[in-house]
Amino acid sequence: MEKAIKSIILAAGKGTRMKSQTPKVLHKIFNKEILGYVIDAVNSTGKAQENYIIVGHCAQQVEDYVNNNYDNAKCCLQSPQLGTGHAAFQAYEDLKGFDGEVIILNGDIPLLTSETIDKFIEEHRKNNNALTVMSAILEDPTNYGRIVRDENGNLKGIVEEKDTTEEQKKIKEINTGVYLLDWPKVHEAFLNLDSNNAQHEYYLTDIVKWTINKGLKARSFVLENNEESFGINSKKQLAEAAKIIKNRVLDKLLDDGVTIVDPDTTYISPETEIEADTIIYPCTYIEGKNKIGRDCKIGPFARIRGDVELGDSVKIGNFVEIKKTKIKSHTNVCHLSYVGDSTLGCNVNIGAGTITANYNHITKEKFQTVIDDNASTGSNSVIVAPAHIGENASIGAGSVISKDIEPNALGLTRAPLKILKGWFDRVKR
């Protein structure tokens, strides 16, 4: 029978180099928080019973995010913040008597995948380790803790960058900050941490030394793809991580038969599903969770903001924005349109410049627009939600529609045309 697993995710840091009032772990990639990527990677293994999120800087903001999005996570406050070992120790009381394994991760590593975590757990169990540390080989290991080995290549310990000797600085194998512990064997290490180092902090890395000194088995698991160890500490690194994630997504979609005309200018979130033979034109940005059918055409310069479902053969034109909308097959949303909080039927034609006005800025409420099969809107129409446009109904160009339009009817609001002859000459005089 497999051992139970719980995780500790360190998310208490300020992230000074981000130069932002937003906590580092709540910065977003594809409208999803960095911390969310880490929690989701752990949850996607299907092995984690519970996640302990260690909060500190802007603790309430981080805790609100966790509580609003995850049922199997509990926040533990680290105050004051006395290092990574002290951070992980905040979950110690909750783990008393736990007879399983604990995986410890940093909350700023959004590129780590659930597949890698699975391999990490498998390697730990296969070798019957008391502790396994995830490591990576980097050409430039600056700012990372180094994996130190003895003359036989056995794991000896981890030395933080600020405590390394000149010789240790040359080591290219680094600590990713991910550990897997056989909790009954290793938990006492947290009671024996000290702050005898350059920073006077309690280092999580010292649990490796403790494990080895006790004669317990400690080994490293070297990442196959070292980009998964990439931590976010600046806005530049945030942008770099976004590119890596989008390239992963595009590579998979291309392999699945989706046409991406210009991968360099196309961004698609990992939670978006797209079926084969759909074409994504340049400068398209798709974020959040979406489902897109076959033979669709999207863009160029289109934006899909999440919670969007497109049937087969849907066309989303250039400079179109879609949000929280379900669109059935063979429907066109033409250029320069905005469709939000809506349901569109089959064979609907949304004319250029159509807007669903879904938001009341005074009450902060959003309302639904429903457009049934075979209906159409003329160019520059505004549909003020809540509104229901019936089957086969039409909206005249330039209309502002604030009432339901029954099936087969024409909705039209238009001031009489006035022609002032000789106007140019009068103005010129």
CATH code: domain of residue 322: 2.160.10.10
> What does the alpha-carbon distance between residue 76 and residue 91 come to, in Å, rounded to a whole number?
7
pLDDT of residue 414: 87
- From the candidates 27, 86, 124, 335, which is the catalytic residue? 335
What average pLDDT does range 184-189 have in this prediction?
Answer: 96
CA dihedral (45, 50, 54, 57) positive or negative: positive
Within this chain, do residues 138 and 240 fall inside the same structural domain, yes or no?
no
How many domains are there within the chain?
2
In which band, very low, low, confident or very high, does the pLDDT at 151 lie, cut at 50, 70 and 90?
A: confident
> What does the alpha-carbon distance between residue 89 and residue 82 come to, in Å, rounded to a whole number?
11
Domain coverage including residue 297:
235-411
Q: Is the pLDDT of residue 284 over 90?
A: yes
What average pLDDT does range 176-201 have in this prediction?
Answer: 91
Is residue 422 in a domain?
Answer: no
CATH number, domain containing residue 182: 3.90.550.10
> What does the alpha-carbon distance between residue 235 and residue 239 come to, in Å, rounded to a whole number?
6
Q: Which of 214, 229, 244 is the last residue of a domain?
A: 229
In which band, very low, low, confident or very high, does the pLDDT at 359 lie, cut at 50, 70 and 90?
A: confident
pLDDT of residue 88: 96
pLDDT of residue 142: 87
Q: Which of 184, 211, 229 is the last residue of a domain?
A: 229
Q: Is the pLDDT of residue 403 over 80?
A: yes
Is residue 418 in a domain?
Answer: no
What average pLDDT does range 373-393 have in this prediction?
Answer: 97
What distances in angstroms separate CA 84 from CA 125, 195, 212, 282, 408, one per listed residue?
25, 11, 19, 43, 67
Residue type, 216: L
Q: 194 is written with which tokens?
A: 């000290």
Within this chain, do residues 389 and 288 fall inside the same structural domain, yes or no?
yes
Is residue 425 in a domain?
Answer: no
Is residue 427 in a domain?
Answer: no
> What does the alpha-carbon distance between residue 39 and residue 68 come to, in Å, rounded to a whole number?
13
Is residue 51 in a domain?
Answer: yes
What average pLDDT does range 296-301 have in this prediction?
Answer: 98
> What does the alpha-carbon distance between residue 409 and residue 43 come to, in Å, rounded to a whole number?
51
Within this chain, do residues 322 and 395 fall inside the same structural domain, yes or no?
yes
Within this chain, do residues 303 and 400 fall inside the same structural domain, yes or no?
yes
Give tens-digit pLDDT for 250-259. 999 999 999 9
Within this chain, do residues 275 and 291 fall inside the same structural domain, yes or no?
yes
Q: Which of 229, 254, 271 is the last residue of a domain?
A: 229
Is residue 257 in a domain?
Answer: yes
Residue with tokens 């019957």: 128
> What does the alpha-carbon distance between residue 44 and residue 46 come to, in Å, rounded to a whole number?
5
Exposure string (b/e) for 331-369, b if CB count within 10 Å is 16 or more? bbbbbbbbbbbbbbbbbbbbbbbbbbbbeeeeeeeebbb
Is residue 259 in a domain?
Answer: yes
Nearest-CA neighbor of 326 among 351, 356, 301? Answer: 356
Q: Is the pLDDT of residue 243 over 70?
A: yes
Question: Is the CB of residue 238 less than 8 Å from the CB of residue 29?
Answer: yes
What average pLDDT does range 401-423 have in this prediction?
Answer: 94
Residue with tokens 């160009």: 397
Residue type, 362: I
In which band, very low, low, confident or very high, does the pLDDT at 99 lie, cut at 50, 70 and 90?
A: very high
Nearest-CA neighbor of 313 among 299, 333, 293, 327? Answer: 293
- Average per-residue pLDDT in the chain? 95
The question of whether 200 is a catalytic residue gets the answer no
What average pLDDT does range 209-237 have in this prediction?
Answer: 94
> What does the alpha-carbon distance between residue 225 and residue 387 come to, in Å, rounded to a whole number?
51
Nearest-CA neighbor of 9 among 223, 177, 239, 182? Answer: 177
Q: 116 is written with which tokens?
A: 């890698």
Nearest-CA neighbor of 356 among 384, 377, 331? Answer: 384
Within this chain, do residues 370 and 224 fall inside the same structural domain, yes or no?
no
- CA 216, chain centre distance (Å): 37
Of all residues in the chain, what percent carry a pLDDT higher than 90?
A: 86
> What does the alpha-carbon distance between residue 166 and residue 186 come to, in Å, rounded to a whole number?
31
Within this chain, do residues 61 and 196 fall inside the same structural domain, yes or no?
yes
Within this chain, do residues 166 and 244 fall inside the same structural domain, yes or no?
no
Q: Is the pLDDT of residue 1 over 90?
A: no
Within this chain, do residues 310 and 256 fall inside the same structural domain, yes or no?
yes
pLDDT of residue 348: 98
In which band, very low, low, confident or very high, does the pLDDT at 215 lie, cut at 50, 70 and 90?
A: very high
Is residue 336 in a domain?
Answer: yes
pLDDT of residue 429: 78
pLDDT of residue 3: 87
Within this chain, do residues 132 and 217 fall inside the same structural domain, yes or no?
yes
Within this chain, do residues 251 and 217 fall inside the same structural domain, yes or no?
no
> What does the alpha-carbon distance between residue 233 and residue 214 come to, in Å, rounded to a whole number?
35
